Amino acid sequence: MRKACFLSVVVPMYNEEEVIETTYRRLTSVLEAMGESYEIVFVNDGSRDRTASIVRGLCESDPRVRLVDFSRNFGHQLAVTAGMDYTSGRTVVLIDADLQDPPEIIPEMVNRWREGYDVVYGRRIARKGETWFKKLTATLFYRFLKMMTSVNIPVDTGDFRLMDRKVCDTLSRMRERSRYIRGMVSWAGFRQTSVDYVREERFAGETKYPLRKMLRLSADAITSFSTKPLKLAGILGFLLSAAGFVYLIVVLYLRLFTDNTQPGWSSLIVISLLFHGITLSLLGVLGEYIGRIYEEAKGRPLYVVSDEVNFEQSENPASDGVQRNETDSMMIRSR
């Protein structure tokens, strides 16, 4: 089996050919200066550019670099999950490929870990080079999520964090497919703390998180950690029936004791539109949950790996520390 190292760094990549060599260099200089054994696990999430071949080149010259190559784009959270499954370190760091999370913070995270913390997450005290729209939606979203969930997910944190092996193993045992890793880490518990950092501008290239993917991640976050939206239907239904009942009394009174019964066409239309709108939105909420239940029920692997590079020393990377049963096994190797 592969010899466990001290620190594993997981880097998910989707079309990052412009940044990946710089990322490798900056990571390497920080990690070498720390003087501990380490590995860098790059996960290629179905990039359509030269990302994978660049990392293959790095793997040839540096045995501490490893590549997990996906068969297609599975999304950031699953790329991170795969990376974690393949790590062997005592500690595991998750970091973005675009250098928005400064690698120079890693030694500070390791120090906090040495003090006895199991999770050290990076808290963004400022975000540079992001649109006001992204900042505003992010700020609102984190607060909304806090309101909706009972799990205490710290606000303004990304996936940039250091975890102890036992936390990483706990997450690897959670095989749910709508993954919101920050939430899952909070759910897992253990001793957690934060270090502050300034989120830099993307080093090069464009964001790989368009609005569509952000919305999906938000929906995953809420549905994975809260059933409050489902309860909304009950509460709204109750309030509306109460209002309807009051209105019924008013109408009856007008009909029986006065002469001015209203023609009332427009109010009917308003009420009808309002109620249909509410009913359909709540059906949509149900759909979000049922869709996810269906996805879980199919029990497909979370991701499909088409190639692994520089893992040769290990017989089965997934057996490092985590026991998995048949249905859990998430690797389908094409070779």
Q: Which positions touch ligand UDP (CB under 6 A)?
A: 12-14, 16, 45, 73, 75-76, 79, 96-98, 100, 207-209
- Which pairing describes strands 38-44 and 7-13: parallel, antiparallel, or unpaired? parallel
What minimum distance in Å lies between the beta carbon of 330 and Mg ion?
25
Within 61-100, the residues that bind Mg ion by CB under 5 A are 98, 100
In the structure encoding, which two tokens stand for residue 233, read together? 């239907």
Tell me the closest approach of the beta carbon of residue 210 to ligand UDP, in angstroms: 9
Least distance (Å) from Mg ion to the CB of residue 44? 16
CA distances from 2 to 11, 76, 127, 165 (A): 20, 26, 38, 15
Q: How far is the CB of 98 from ligand UDP (least distance, A)?
A: 4
Q: Which residues of 25-60 are buried (b: 16+ CB within 10 A; e: fewer)?
A: ebbbebbeeeeeebbbbbbbbbbeeebbebbbebbe
Of 6 and 209, CB closest to ligand UDP: 209
Q: Out of Mg ion, ligand UDP, none, which partner does residue 45 contact, by CB within 5 to 8 A per kind? A: ligand UDP
Which does residue 13 bind out of ligand UDP, Mg ion, none, counting CB within 5 to 8 angstroms by kind? Answer: ligand UDP
The pair of three-digit structure tokens given for residue 291, joined into one six-digit string? 């869709």
105 with 96: CB under 8 angstroms? no
Per-residue interface string for the shown chain with Mg ion, residues 307-326, x marking contact by CB under 5 A: --------------------
Q: How far is the CB of 94 from Mg ion (least distance, A)?
A: 13
* Shortest distance (Å) from residue 214 CB to Mg ion: 12
- Is 85 exposed, middle or buried (CB count within 10 Å of its CB: 0-12, 13-18, 19+)? buried
DSSP state letters, 38-51:
EEEEEEE-S-SSSH
Selection from 163, 168, 189 nearest residue 106 by Cα: 163
Instruction: Looking at the chain, list the stretches that DSSP marks H as alpha helix, in order from N- to C-terminal side.
Output: 20-34, 51-61, 76-86, 106-114, 132-148, 165-173, 181-188, 211-225, 228-257, 265-298
Closest to 23 measured CA to CA, from 7, 6, 38, 42: 42
Q: Helices 211-225 and 181-188, interaxial angle, to 10°?
A: 20
Cα–Cα distance between 93 and 113 in angstroms, integer? 11
Binding to Mg ion, residues 93-112 (CB under 5 A): 98, 100
Smallest gap from Cβ 122 to ligand UDP, in A, equals: 13
Closest separation in Å from C-beta 48 to ligand UDP: 11
DSSP output for 257-289: H-S-----HHHHHHHHHHHHHHHHHHHHHHHHH
Nearer to ligand UDP among residue 190 and residue 209 (C-beta):
209
Q: Which residues bind Mg ion (CB under 5 A)?
A: 98, 100
